[in-house]
A and B are shown apart, each in its own frame.
Chain A
Amino acid sequence: MTTAVRAEQATKIYGSGPTEVRALDGVTVAFEQGRFSAIMGPSGSGKSTLLHCIAGLDELTSGKVFIGDQDLGQLNDRELTLLRRTRVGFVFQAFNLVPTLSASENITLPLDIAGTAVDSDWFDRVIDVLEIGDRLSHRPSELSGGQQQRVAVARALASQPDVIFADEPSGNLDSKSGAHLLEFLRLAVDEFDQTIVMVTHDPVAAGYADRAVFLEDGHIVDEIDAPTAEAVLDKIRTLEV
């Protein structure tokens, strides 16, 4: 199986001296293409930091990150921006959408910014799968939280990126909408062969993934293949003890 994203000895240090925080401490991990991977861990364990660094949003203090064969450390700001635009999709916990644009404009935003034509067949399939076809002309403020997050997923999918990074995508949703959203992410992987890396601290969310890696104090401490919510919970308990 090919690797979509990997980190080698990734270390991220915030601050210096007595206030120094090692958010990531020599993390080596790889995420396979076409799979749904979850990064699990307690709050403050370095999940978001890892996600940001492997997504080209932040720079490592030391170590390397690759998307495909591309070493992100070799890229300048502009090249990183273009990489994010074409090869990466994002779903954040909240505030994913530009409030002045309609849902469909938000979905095609990365393509529009790049000046690339929208593949309308693909667009139709994505909105069909995400069930947001009747919401396309609405502004974000007119959408429910779940709908907003689905629009965000559609946006991430629209440019057919190599990998989608999601940081607690269901974190702000009620459990029903959250479950719905995770099903859609699952669907994106199954239907479109999309690669997704998702950060979550919720065992139920991790249950939708193909694989879960466990982070603690900036270290990878364990991982499970084909996790279920129960398996993840068990693992967390064992890790905590």
Chain B
Amino acid sequence: MLRATLKGLLGHKLRLALTVLAIMLGTGLIAGSYVFTDTLDRVFSDLFSQSLAGIDAQVTGDVSEELSTFTFPERLPESLVDEIAALDEVEAAVGTVAGLVTLIDPNGEALGGFGPPTIGTSWSDVASPLTVRDGSAPIGDQDLVIDASSADRLDIEIGDEVGVIALGEQERFEVVGTIGLGGSSNFGGATFVSFTYAAAQQLFDAAGFVDTISVVGAGDISPEALVAAIEEIAPENTSVVDAATAAEEQLSGFKEALGFVNTFLLAFGYVSLFVGGFLIFNTFQVIVAQRTKELALLRAIGATKRQVRRMVLVEAFIVSVIGSLLGVVFGVVLAIGIRAAFSRFGGEIPATTPQVLPRTILIAVLSGVIVTVFSALVPAYRASAVPPIAALRQVTARPTSRLFRIVMIAGSVISVLGTGVIAAGLFLDPPEQIPRAAFVGVGAALLFIGLAILSAAFARPLGRTLGAPIRAAFGAIGRLATENAVRNPGRTAVTSAALMVGVALMVFVTILASSLSATTDKLIADTFKTDLVVQPIGFGAAGLSPQIADRIESLDEIEDVVRLRQGPMLVEGDVEFVSASELAKIENAIDIEVVAGDLASVGADGVALSENAASDLDVGVGDTLDVEFARTGEQTLTVRAVFVEAGPGGNIYLDLEGYRRNFTEDFDQSLFVKFDRSFDSAAARSAVEDVLVDFPGTTSLDQSEFADQAITGIRGFVGLVYALLALALVIAFVGIVNTLLLSVIERTREIGLLRAVGSTRKQIRRMVTWESVIIAVYGALLGSVVGIVLARALVEALDTDEIVFRLPVLQIVLAVVLAMIAGVIAAIYPAQRASRLNVLEAIAYE
């Protein structure tokens, strides 16, 4: 039986080639996600362990693990460094001050754009992994050293002058050397600069304090003993860990972030593979149909149903293993591509050999095999249902109307089930171990399968409707194209369903994005009460120096400035990003409707919540809330106000007083600036901009510019989603090619007949092309409808008046037009093949 299977495989090389390609593409992104994140993991593991080379223990302010990724702990008193150094168990202890900075070139432009953050630290010759590459270490307080790889990238040479902005105004430094980290000159893509201890303390406003104390143990003292000795004298809220643990802790936050990236990429990988499933299903259906005689012969000579079934499944299995292994190779290529894409936004990620772990191969092959074999199940059962008598006479198993009805009922049931599972995932509390996203994913998969089945019922009437203009324009050829497109509704439905999935997701995201943009626009228009917003440029930027607000506030042209800050806080164990502002006057900046309590009374130990947040947390004015800050640890806040609209600041507000008390960071995120009406607004704006000249890396935006910026962010995300969905669309495209090719092979005789009675090659090509266009447009239309319905449903389900539902008609029309073009392109090869058919071979009667 195995030999028959292998023969079958070889006999269908061409037919299976595109299936292998689809599996390869589908598993490629899955493997690629792992390869990408594993490689980064490897790079940063190396980096973190290098960054602690030569150090035995590290002392920092204590911070709970959940918050450590997002914020800095409280600083340590400088005196602790000497106390630790004085211990018998300690050979050396060095305090380091660190923070985020922006480097400015002599023209006042940010060096390397406003991309990833630049990290600045104080320099130390001892107990430090940093080594000088060229030039010297910083000696004078105007000296600066920079990592060799950034120096190269930013074209900085020893002797150059650069500006540095941390918290205050720009200060000027001279580059005196380049540095490396152990053997590496790349700091994981970040730019790294170092100053003298005194200069760093001054830059980061940390006189008398340090961020980290690096300790080298005396003799060969064990890490445990060293840590214990330091803990003995360390004040409360201090974390003392040995180097290995420190590396692990640093890595864990990073790994969590990588985990998110991985999950995000994987989701698209599974979408791609799912789409590939449709193609696989079609291929095996066609192969089984074409092998009816052979299968019947096998049955006639005594093969059991089960053996026939197994033959098809083994064939699927072999194909899937080959496809998945190729997918792993493709995944490595994708990972390199993703790295390159990330590098464009996030700086140079050091290149290392891509990490292909056994786990990656296992998961890729397993998912490939499962999806393929699952997709081949129905064809396998169909194969086993071929009666032995079919070997002797032409038995065309026409689907009976009863069978059709059963299939349609199944389709409806699966669709409803899928919708239910999605709803359950969104609105019910799923069990702990299963993430909501898994429910939504499985539900969506079921829904799409159900819709694919149901769409077989519409394929004929809708396909004919779509074909009407083609028939009108191309007569007999148009009619043939239309009839070919709908003659096998199941096959057409499955082919177009693959496209439907891709297009539906794309349309869904497009609608959400345009609705979100419209909502943002409206929200900003409704709540924006100031004339100008001042913000830092770039996502990695540290923030606004507090001096900016002070200086703007002192301008004559300005009536008022409201500061807004943001930071993480644990609320009942969950990390929440809270906003902080001068709540007494925040109403001057944004429209915020208070329903209970008083914003002005929030104070240093209070909090203001949106109605939603208050009801989620089940608290009201006067109740208390247990929270935790990175710097000050567990605190109790009193709810002093409840407001209606979340607004741009979110659901939880602290007063600026409370922020200062509980956060180490001391910079603003946004400033809301209100002009003095007695001045011309252009004059007022230029006065503000004059101030900002001294603070490169900042920008001022009026209402429409502010809205544009928010929308640009949304657009960037949508672009990323499009890029990742592209693979699924490519697979759907391959699916169309596959179906056409299989159909052309199947219709060899018919095409030969058409040629014999006078169809030109061009007419045959045209016939295949229009068939392809009908299938593609059918899929795109279904996808658009499903995408619109899903987006509408989600907006309805969110049950809020705040969201403006916006249908991007133009983009959807464009998607359909693109599908049409894709249809034309997909048909090129199959049409070519059809038109090249040898007429005689085609009509030969055996």
Contact A57 B840 (CB under 8 A): yes
Known: A94-B845, A100-B483. A57 touches B760 (CB 8 A): no
Decide yes or no whether A119 CB sits under 8 A from chain B.
no
Compute how far the CA of A93 lies from the CA of B753 in the bound complex, rounded to whole angstroms: 12
Kindly identify which residue among A85, A99, A105, A115 contacts B757, using a CB–CB cutoff of 8 Å: A85
Contact B761 A114 (CB under 8 A): no
Known: A57-B839, A112-B476, A113-B477. A100 touches B758 (CB 8 A): no
Contact B843 A113 (CB under 8 A): no
Residues from chain B with Cβ under 8 Å of A115 in the complex? 475
Q: Which of A62-70, A75-83, A126-134 contacts B (4 or more CB under 8 A)?
A: A75-83
Kindly identify which residue among B396, B484, B757, B839 contacts A100, using a CB–CB cutoff of 8 Å: B484
CB nearest to B481 among chain A residues: A100
Decide yes or no whether A86 CB sits under 8 A from chain B.
yes
Contact B756 A98 (CB under 8 A): no
Compute how far the CA of A82 lies from the CA of B839 in the bound complex, rounded to whole angstroms: 14
Contact B750 A99 (CB under 8 A): yes
Known: A100-B480, A113-B477. A82 touches B760 (CB 8 A): yes
Decide yes or no whether B765 CB sits under 8 A from chain A.
no
CB nearest to B749 among chain A residues: A95
Contact B750 A98 (CB under 8 A): yes
A72-119 residues with Cβ-Cβ distance < 8 A to B are 77-78, 81-82, 84-86, 90, 92-101, 105, 108-110, 112-115
Residues from chain A with Cβ under 8 Å of B477 in the complex? 113
CB nearest to A89 among chain B residues: B757
Decide yes or no whether A180 CB sits under 8 A from chain B.
no
Residues from chain B with Cβ under 8 Å of A93 in the complex? 845
- Write the nearest CB–CB distance from A159 to chain B, whole angstroms: 8
Kindly identify which residue among B479, B756, B758, B760 contacts A105, using a CB–CB cutoff of 8 Å: B479
Residues from chain B with Cβ under 8 Å of A57 in the complex? 756, 839-840, 843
CB nearest to A92 among chain B residues: B843
Compute how far the CA of A84 lies from the CA of B843 in the bound complex, rounded to whole angstroms: 15
Residues from chain A with Cβ under 8 Å of B755 in the complex? 81
Contact B757 A52 (CB under 8 A): no
Residues from chain A with Cβ under 8 Å of B480 in the complex? 98, 100-101
Known: A100-B487, A101-B479, A113-B477. A84 touches B845 (CB 8 A): no
Decide yes or no whether A58 CB sits under 8 A from chain B.
yes
Contact B758 A82 (CB under 8 A): yes
Compute how far the CA of A92 lies from the CA of B754 in the bound complex, rounded to whole angstroms: 12
Contact A86 B758 (CB under 8 A): yes
Compute how far the CA of A52 lies from the CA of B755 in the bound complex, rounded to whole angstroms: 13
Compute how far the CA of A61 lies from the CA of B303 in the bound complex, rounded to whole angstroms: 47
Residues from chain A with Cβ under 8 Å of B840 in the complex? 52, 57-58
CB nearest to B477 among chain A residues: A113
Decide yes or no whether B686 CB sits under 8 A from chain A.
no
Decide yes or no whether B64 CB sits under 8 A from chain A.
no
Decide yes or no whether A155 CB sits under 8 A from chain B.
yes
Decide yes or no whether B703 CB sits under 8 A from chain A.
no
- Write the nearest CB–CB distance from A209 to chain B, whole angstroms: 21
Compute how far the CA of A95 lies from the CA of B394 in the bound complex, rounded to whole angstroms: 13
Known: A57-B839, A95-B843. A113 touches B763 (CB 8 A): yes
Contact A92 B761 (CB under 8 A): no
- Write the nearest CB–CB distance from B771 to chain A, whole angstroms: 11
Contact A95 B753 (CB under 8 A): yes
Contact A78 B760 (CB under 8 A): yes
Residues from chain B with Cβ under 8 Å of A101 in the complex? 479-480, 483
Residues from chain B with Cβ under 8 Å of A78 in the complex? 760-761
- Write the nearest CB–CB distance from B635 to chain A, whole angstroms: 76
Compute how far the CA of A96 lies from the CA of B753 in the bound complex, rounded to whole angstroms: 7
Contact B758 A98 (CB under 8 A): no
Contact B758 A77 (CB under 8 A): no
- Write the nearest CB–CB distance from B428 to chain A, whole angstroms: 48
Known: A58-B840, A93-B845, A100-B483. A85 touches B476 (CB 8 A): no
Known: A100-B483, A109-B476. A85 touches B758 (CB 8 A): yes
Contact B483 A84 (CB under 8 A): no
Q: Contact flags (1/0) for B744-785 with A, using CB distance below 8 Å?
A: 000001100111111111010000000000000000000000
Compute how far the CA of A77 lies from the CA of B759 in the bound complex, rounded to whole angstroms: 11
Kindly identify which residue among B483, B756, B759 contacts A90, using a CB–CB cutoff of 8 Å: B756
Known: A92-B845, A101-B483. A109 touches B761 (CB 8 A): no
CB nearest to A165 among chain B residues: B756
How many A residues, CB 8 Å from partner?
31
B444-487 residues with Cβ-Cβ distance < 8 A to A are 475-477, 479-480, 483-484, 487
B489-528 residues with Cβ-Cβ distance < 8 A to A are none
Interface centre among B479, B753, B763, B840 (most CB of A within 10 A): B753
Residues from chain B with Cβ under 8 Å of A84 in the complex? 756-758
Contact A110 B758 (CB under 8 A): yes
Compute how far the CA of A105 lies from the CA of B757 in the bound complex, rounded to whole angstroms: 13
CB nearest to A108 among chain B residues: B476
Contact B758 A95 (CB under 8 A): no
Contact B759 A113 (CB under 8 A): yes
- Write the nearest CB–CB distance from A90 to chain B, whole angstroms: 5
Interface centre among B396, B477, B487, B757 (most CB of A within 10 A): B757
Compute how far the CA of A148 lies from the CA of B756 in the bound complex, rounded to whole angstroms: 17
Contact A109 B757 (CB under 8 A): yes
Compute how far the CA of A113 lies from the CA of B754 in the bound complex, rounded to whole angstroms: 9
Residues from chain A with Cβ under 8 Å of B757 in the complex? 84-85, 90, 109-110, 113, 155
Contact A113 B484 (CB under 8 A): no
Compute how far the CA of A105 lies from the CA of B477 in the bound complex, rounded to whole angstroms: 12
Compute how far the CA of A110 lies from the CA of B479 in the bound complex, rounded to whole angstroms: 13
Residues from chain A with Cβ under 8 Å of B475 in the complex? 112-113, 115
Contact A95 B845 (CB under 8 A): yes
Q: Contact flags (1/0) for A149-190 with B, using CB distance below 8 Å?
A: 000000100000000000000000000000000000000000
Compute how far the CA of A189 lies from the CA of B843 in the bound complex, rounded to whole angstroms: 26
Known: A95-B845, A109-B476. A77 touches B753 (CB 8 A): no
- Write the nearest CB–CB distance from B2 to chain A, whole angstroms: 33
- Write the nearest CB–CB distance from B763 to chain A, whole angstroms: 6
Residues from chain A with Cβ under 8 Å of B754 in the complex? 98, 109, 113
Interface centre among A86, A92, A101 (most CB of B within 10 A): A92
Interface centre among B475, B749, B758 (most CB of A within 10 A): B758
CB nearest to A159 among chain B residues: B758
CB nearest to A83 among chain B residues: B758
Compute how far the CA of A221 lies from the CA of B758 in the bound complex, rounded to whole angstroms: 33
Residues from chain A with Cβ under 8 Å of B483 in the complex? 100-101
Compute how far the CA of A112 lies from the CA of B483 in the bound complex, rounded to whole angstroms: 15
CB nearest to A100 among chain B residues: B483
- Write the nearest CB–CB distance from B468 to chain A, whole angstroms: 16
Compute how far the CA of A77 lies from the CA of B838 in the bound complex, rounded to whole angstroms: 11
Residues from chain A with Cβ under 8 Å of B758 in the complex? 81-82, 84-86, 110, 113-114
- Write the nearest CB–CB distance from B478 to chain A, whole angstroms: 10
Q: Contact flags (1/0) for B18-45 with A, using CB distance below 8 Å?
A: 0000000000000000000000000000
CB nearest to B750 among chain A residues: A98
Contact B761 A77 (CB under 8 A): yes
Interface centre among B475, B756, B761, B843 (most CB of A within 10 A): B756
Compute how far the CA of A84 lies from the CA of B479 in the bound complex, rounded to whole angstroms: 21
- Write the nearest CB–CB distance from A97 to chain B, whole angstroms: 8
- Write the nearest CB–CB distance from B768 to chain A, whole angstroms: 14
A-B contact pairs, 21 of them (CB 8 A): A52-B840, A57-B756, A57-B843, A58-B840, A81-B761, A84-B756, A84-B757, A86-B758, A92-B756, A95-B845, A100-B480, A100-B487, A101-B480, A101-B483, A105-B479, A109-B754, A110-B758, A112-B479, A113-B477, A113-B757, A141-B396
Chain A contact residues, CB within 8 Å of chain B = 52, 57-58, 77-78, 81-82, 84-86, 90, 92-101, 105, 108-110, 112-115, 141, 155
Chain B contact residues, CB within 8 Å of chain A = 396, 475-477, 479-480, 483-484, 487, 749-750, 753-761, 763, 839-840, 843, 845
Shortest Cβ-Cβ A-B pairs, 7 listed: A85-B758, A112-B476, A100-B483, A110-B757, A84-B758, A81-B760, A110-B758
**Beyond known contacts A58-B840, A95-B843, A96-B753: 7 more, CB 8 A cutoff:** A57-B843, A78-B760, A92-B756, A95-B750, A99-B750, A109-B754, A112-B476
